[in-house]
């Protein structure tokens, strides 16, 4: 049976020692979010994830959701777990207190998101979608819509979804056909069908608030003609209760490779009553708030699954006896040595560990930037934070999920045949991780967003900000022998990233295929560099604390050794990625369709 323990020691190290989470309490509205409060909240969140959500993960996967004539039932135990989750205030952990939320920083929600994804990804999808609906309405909803829906979403009494995709459209939202007909009372009648709707129908909440993309009768073609609408499953009464059924029905649920405890629905809208969010034909603005938040959340899914897979693979490697160490017996009292003595096993586990801890540092940094973007009194500081969040969003979504899937596979391989069977649980993490590379915009789409939109944005201002931050830390390490050795690979990776940026600027403008051919490699190059930069930050803190005789010497020593592994074993991939980018699109585009 698999196990999970929230990595609170590492979480605290990143939040407090590396990123100084205490400075968030200096932002307006976060005065009570002191380090002690943050630690207490996360300790309770860890307990919920370990003791309530994780025990339902394997059984939820085995049972899955069931569909019966439009009704969807979640796996056994999910209803009770959701009630505990909602009653504890976790549905509104970072929501505005004006609507019943806890008002904690987004950075705290990022940490809790990771723990949820490790404990039970399928379960986490339900409140995760509700938070996305909350964010979109908070940013673009009218005061009337906010008053009607936000308190219920924040309390967890009602769930939420985002309804974008249609069977013929996929990622190309510009060709969606769902219609919205205006009525005399100011509402709209929504007709159409949406597919792949996570949490589209379930038995956890009294009502479900669907945010739906649709077209007005006179809407222009493409994404410039899309509007967003709130379409509740049940029409709210004047006193805020679920009233008459709306014209929304679940046509079926998907039978999937993974996340089987999460209901993935076909939703049919038949003359359903909806209310516009934001302005006509500008619905993508509201939906992008939800989508960008969801992309960061999906990145945390990759990290969360990699973490729990690592914990179980490491435990197995310490206990499983097989063969003898190449340098001589290490377990003379046993018939064989633990497989952790073998270099290839150690290499795989260190690869996961180095990714997990580096990705955690990068993600929490971005979480704190989101709080800075929304709360800092200085407009220039807010803008810098917003630039960096925008740049890092596709990287976190795509790089974390590409590497997260790779790491869950390494974990499975560590267990050998036992990894492939259900009893040990790791095969589920592989199956669950695979979808994260696909939904909320495939990773190829994220790479195109990074190269085609984020790099040229504001004349390259976003990426220049990132370059300057990395270079400053590389330069600052020059006077320390240990840190200089770690900073050198980061500086070299930064140089390759800058060179790749110039290559794309020169070739991609003249021939878009050049940008398309290099996009994924460029995103990975930025991902490896960004995590390497975070490892340099962590190493600097670990080195300073160890020199001062502070903290757990073994913990800090392991940090430095893992940083050295990352620089020696993962950062060299940046050289290969640059070579692939420089190779251009020629060999990719040359074969005719008949030659495939």
Q: 540 and 449: one domain?
A: yes
Q: Are residues 454 and 579 in the same domain?
A: yes
* Residue 560 located in a structural domain: yes
455 and 580 in a common domain: yes
DSSP 433-450: HHHTTTSSS-HHHHHHHI
Residues 280-331 pLDDT 10s: 998 888 778 878 888 999 999 999 999 999 999 999 999 999 999 999 999 9
Q: Number of structural domains, the chain?
A: 3
Residue 197 placed within a domain? yes
Are 117 and 40 found together in one domain? yes
| Same-domain pairing of 128 and 176 | no
- CA distance linking residue 360 with residue 362, whole number of Å: 5
Same domain, 14 and 130: yes
416: in domain: no
Same domain, 457 and 561: yes
Q: Walk along the chain (596 residues) in steps of 10 and give the mean pLDDT of each run.
A: 96 98 96 96 98 98 96 98 98 96 96 98 97 94 96 98 87 83 96 96 98 94 92 95 96 97 97 96 83 92 98 98 94 95 98 98 98 97 97 98 98 97 97 96 96 94 98 93 93 98 90 95 98 98 94 96 98 98 96 95
CATH label of the domain that carries residue 119:
1.10.540.10
Question: Are residues 166 and 129 part of one domain?
Answer: no
135-146 per-position pLDDT tens digit:
999 999 999 999
| Claim to verify: residue 201 and residue 118 sit in the same structural domain | no
Q: What is the pLDDT of residue 292?
A: 86
Residue 223, pLDDT score: 85
Start-to-end Cα distance in the chain = 45
* pLDDT score at 1: 87
Do 189 and 108 belong to one domain? Answer: no
340 close to 375: Cβ distance less than 8 angstroms = no
The catalytic residue positions are 440
Structure confidence by residue, pLDDT tens digits, 244-274: 999 999 999 999 999 999 999 999 999 999 9
Q: Look at residue 40 and tell me if it is in a domain.
A: yes
The residue range of the domain holding 580 is 444-587
Separation between Cα atoms, residue 56 and residue 77, nearest integer Å: 7
Per DSSP, 338 falls in state: B
Domain assignment of residue 436, yes or no: no
Verify that 273 and 243 share a domain, yes or no. Answer: yes
CATH of the domain at 272: 2.40.110.20
CA distance 514 to 131: 38
Task: Decide which of 257, 282, 307 is a domain's last residue.
Answer: 282
Of 140, 175, 199, the last residue of a domain is: 140
Q: Identify the pLDDT of residue 479.
A: 84
> Is residue 256 in a domain?
yes
Query: Same domain for 275 and 225?
Result: yes
- What distance in Å separates the CA atoms of residue 16 and residue 177, rounded to the nearest whole number? 49
Domain assignment present for 455: yes
Best CA proximity match to 195, nearest among 245, 254, 248, 247: 254
Query: Residue 434 domain-assigned?
Result: no
Among 140, 168, 200, identify where a domain stops.
140
DSSP 71: E
């Amino acid at each position: 049976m698999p196990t999970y323990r929230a990595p609170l020691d590492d979480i605290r190290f990143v939040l407090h020692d590396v990123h100084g989470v205490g400075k968030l309490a200096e932002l307006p509205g976060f005065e009570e979010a002191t380090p002690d409060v943050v630690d207490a909240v996360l300790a309770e969140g860890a307990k919920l994830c370990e003791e309530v959500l994780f025990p339902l993960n394997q059984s939820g996967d085995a049972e899955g959701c069931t569909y019966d004539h439009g009704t969807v039932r979640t796996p056994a135990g999910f209803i009770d777990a959701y009630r505990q989750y909602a009653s504890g205030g976790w549905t509104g952990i970072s929501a505005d207190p004006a609507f019943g939320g806890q008002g904690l920083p987004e950075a705290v929600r990022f940490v809790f998101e990771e723990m949820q994804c490790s404990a039970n990804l399928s379960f986490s999808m339900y409140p995760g979608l509700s938070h996305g609906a909350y964010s979109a309405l908070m940013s673009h909803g009218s005061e009337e819509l906010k008053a009607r829906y936000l308190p219920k979403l924040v309390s967890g009494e009602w769930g939420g979804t985002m309804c974008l995709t249609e069977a013929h459209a996929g990622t190309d939202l510009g060709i969606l056909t769902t219609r919205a007909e205006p009525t005399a009372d100011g509402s709209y009648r929504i007709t159409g069908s949406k597919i792949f709707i996570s949490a589209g129908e379930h038995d956890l909440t009294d009502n479900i608030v669907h945010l739906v993309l649709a077209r007005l009768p006179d809407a222009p073609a493409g994404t410039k003609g899309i509007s967003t609408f709130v379409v509740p499953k049940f029409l709210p009464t004047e006193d805020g209760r679920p009233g008459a059924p709306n014209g929304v029905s679940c046509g079926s649920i998907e039978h999937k490779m993974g996340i089987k405890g999460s209901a993935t629905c076909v939703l049919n809208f038949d003359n359903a009553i909806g209310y516009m969010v934001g302005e006509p034909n500008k619905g993508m603005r509201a939906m992008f708030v939800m989508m960008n938040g969801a992309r960061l959340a999906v990145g945390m899914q990759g990290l969360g699954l990699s973490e729990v897979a690592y914990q179980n693979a490491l435990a197995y490697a310490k206990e499983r006896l097989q063969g003898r160490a190449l340098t001589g017996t290490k377990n003379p009292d046993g018939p064989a040595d633990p497989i952790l003595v073998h270099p290839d096993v150690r290499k795989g586990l260190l690869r996961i560990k180095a990714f997990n801890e580096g990705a955690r540092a990068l993600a929490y940094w971005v979480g704190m930037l989101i709080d800075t973007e929304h709360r800092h009194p200085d407009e220039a500081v807010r803008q810098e934070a917003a630039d960096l969040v925008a740049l890092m969003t596709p990287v976190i979504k795509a790089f974390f999920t590409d590497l997260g899937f790779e790491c869950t596979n390494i974990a499975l391989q560590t267990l050998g045949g036992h990894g492939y069977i259900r009893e040990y649980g790791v095969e589920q993490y592989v199956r669950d991780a695979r979808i994260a590379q696909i939904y909320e915009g495939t990773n190829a789409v994220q790479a195109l967003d990074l190269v085609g939109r984020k790099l040229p944005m504001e004349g390259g201002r976003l990426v220049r900000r990132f370059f300057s931050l990395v270079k400053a830390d590389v330069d600052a390490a020059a006077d320390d022998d240990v840190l200089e050795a770690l900073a050198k690979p980061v500086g070299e990776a930064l140089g390759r990233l800058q060179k790749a940026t110039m290559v794309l600027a020169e070739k991609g403008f003249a021939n878009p295929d050049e940008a398309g051919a290099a996009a994924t490699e460029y995103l990975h190059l930025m991902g490896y560099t960004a995590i390497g930069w975070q490892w340099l930050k962590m190493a600097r803190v670990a080195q300073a604390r160890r020199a001062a005789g502070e903290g757990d010497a073994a913990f800090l020593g392991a940090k430095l050794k893992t940083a050295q592994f990352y620089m020696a074993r993962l950062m060299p991939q940046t050289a290969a990625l640059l070579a692939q980018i420089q190779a251009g699109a020629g060999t990719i585009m040359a074969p005719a369709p008949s030659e495939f």
